[in-house]
Amino acid sequence: LTDKYADFIDANRKEDPVERLKTLKRLIHDLPEHHYETLKFLSAHLKTVAENSEKNKMEPRNLAIVFGPTLVRTSDDNMTHM
Tens of pLDDT, residue by residue over 41-79, are 999 999 999 999 999 999 999 999 999 888 877 666 655
Q: What are phi and psi of 76, to 5 degrees?
A: -85, -5
pTM of the predicted model as reported, rounded to 2 decimal places: 0.74
Range of the domain at 11: 2-69
Measured between alpha carbons, how far is 56 from 49 in angstroms, rounded to an integer?
Answer: 8
Q: Is residue 74 part of a domain?
A: no
One-letter identity of residue 48: T
CATH no. for residue 57? Answer: 1.10.555.10
What domain count does the chain have? 1
Whether 1 shows a pLDDT value over 60: the answer reads no
Measured between alpha carbons, how far is 23 from 34 in angstroms, rounded to an integer?
Answer: 20
Measured between alpha carbons, how far is 2 from 32 in angstroms, rounded to an integer?
Answer: 12
The arithmetic mean of pLDDT across residues 15-33, rounded, is 96
Q: Is residue 78 part of a domain?
A: no
